[in-house]
Amino acid sequence: MPSEKPNLPKIAYSIREACHVSSLGRTTIYNHIAAGRLRARRIGGRVVIPAESLHALIEGQD
């Protein structure tokens, strides 16, 4: 019997996921991070973007 995972809201996105869900390119995402308009955290060897930061960028809340 396959177990179903609950559909939990994402709390962070990888760079690839952030590009996909926002329809922004990788360079644009990195430019926003460099400019301080988008927060990113390095956890181990992975960079993640908090969901609320990505949502704020898309909504125009710098």
Query: What residues does each domain of the chain span?
Result: 12-59
> What's residue 61's pLDDT?
75
Q: Where residue 1 falls among pLDDT bands split at 50, 70, 90?
A: low
Q: What's the predicted TM-score (pTM) here?
A: 0.82
Residues 6 or more apart from 48 whose CB is under 8 A from it?
A: 12, 13, 14, 40, 41
More confident residue, 41 or 2: 41
37-61 confidence digits (pLDDT tens): 999 999 999 999 999 999 999 999 7
Q: Where residue 4 falls among pLDDT bands split at 50, 70, 90?
A: confident
Within 10 Å of residue 32's Cβ, how many Cβ atoms? 21
DSSP string, 5-57: PP-PPPSEEEHHHHHHHHT--HHHHHHHHHHTSS--EEETTEEEEEHHHHHHH
The chain-wide mean pLDDT, for the chain, equals 92
